[in-house]
Amino acid sequence: RRSGATTIPVAAERAQPQREVPSTLDQCRRCDLWRNATQAIPGVGPRNARIMLVGEQPGDQEDLQGLPFVGPAGAVLDRALAEAGVRRDAVYLTNAVKHFKWELRGKRRLHKTPAQSEIAACHLWLEEELARVKPDVIVALGSTALKSVLERGSATMQSVMDAPFEHDGRWVITVYHPSYVLRAPDEATRQQAYEVIVNGLRQALELIA
Ligand code: URA
């Protein structure tokens, strides 16, 4: 063995992301997203919340502040929660992917959709949250959340958005992601997407009544 070869070269570390279970989320190296993120963003909420909302991944503001849903999508979510009569501090809020994935456009860090491999690598953190909080109802906000909640299931958003369904002994409700309300092409589509979110949150409340 060459002397000085005890440190793992960066290239080898990149080629083989750490697959074992890290002891803390902040130490997670199961995919490469930690490299460009400020921090990992854990879920927040009561430890026995009956409703868990799962988003896609932290955005720019979340990455900086260390909390989920505190940016523009969070403002849409807050409005929908209020309209549905769901208290934000009564639900557990988390994301399928815990690090912000982005690319630079000019001076802005623009969100990039996580790859299936990144969703899969991060899935164990969602499993840990589900095992700990044991919610009765999961509200999947968008398709990344749905993919992670179903793990190997293969439902499309459109096929499951109509009604709650049972998965692994829990109710799953699927709605649009709040950021879709901000970027949908026209006002009618934005309003319709927003109403789907509000209705999904109302259904979640009914299921735990
Ligand atoms: N979008 C998400 O999916 N999650 C957040 O925490 C913020 C924006």
State which ligand 1 atom lies nearest to the alpha carbon of 141.
3
Domain count of the fold of the chain: 1
Domain membership flag for residue 123? yes
Q: Is 55 in the pocket of ligand 1 (CB under 6 A)?
A: yes
Q: Tell me whether residue 9 is exposed, middle or buried, using C-beta atoms within 10 angstroms of its C-beta: 0 to 12, 13 to 18, 19 or more.
A: exposed
DSSP letter at 99? S
Domain membership flag for residue 13? no
User: What whole-number distance in Å separates Cα of residue 111 and Cα of residue 72?
Assistant: 12
Q: Is 94 in the pocket of ligand 1 (CB under 6 A)?
A: no
Tell me how far CA of residue 132 lies from CA of 78, 111, 178, in angstroms: 24, 29, 26
Domain membership flag for residue 6? no
Domain membership flag for residue 58? yes
- How are beta strands 92-95 and 51-55 bridged, if at all? parallel
What CATH number did the domain enclosing 87 receive?
3.40.470.10
Complex confidence, ipTM: 0.94
Phi, psi dihedrals of residue 63, rounded to the nearest 5°: -60, -40
List the domain range (segments joined by +) for residue 146.
Answer: 23-208
- pLDDT at residue number 131: 98
Domain membership flag for residue 42? yes
Q: Which helix (H) or strand (E) holds 139?
A: strand 137-141
Which residue positions in the chain have pLDDT lower than 70? 1-19, 152-153
84 and 178 Cβ atoms separated by less than 8 Å:
no
- pLDDT at residue number 20: 73
The 10s digit of each residue's pLDDT in 12-64 is 444 445 567 888 999 999 999 999 999 999 999 999 999 999 999 999 999 99
State which ligand 1 atom lies nearest to the alpha carbon of 179.
1
User: What whole-number distance in Å separates Cα of residue 194 and Cα of residue 179?
Assistant: 10
Domain membership flag for residue 71? yes
Q: Is 63 in the pocket of ligand 1 (CB under 6 A)?
A: no
Domain membership flag for residue 16? no
Phi, psi dihedrals of residue 47, rounded to the nearest 5°: -70, -15
- pLDDT at residue number 153: 65
User: Helices in 85-186 by DSSP H: which ranges?
Assistant: 116-133, 143-150, 157-160, 178-183
Domain membership flag for residue 12? no
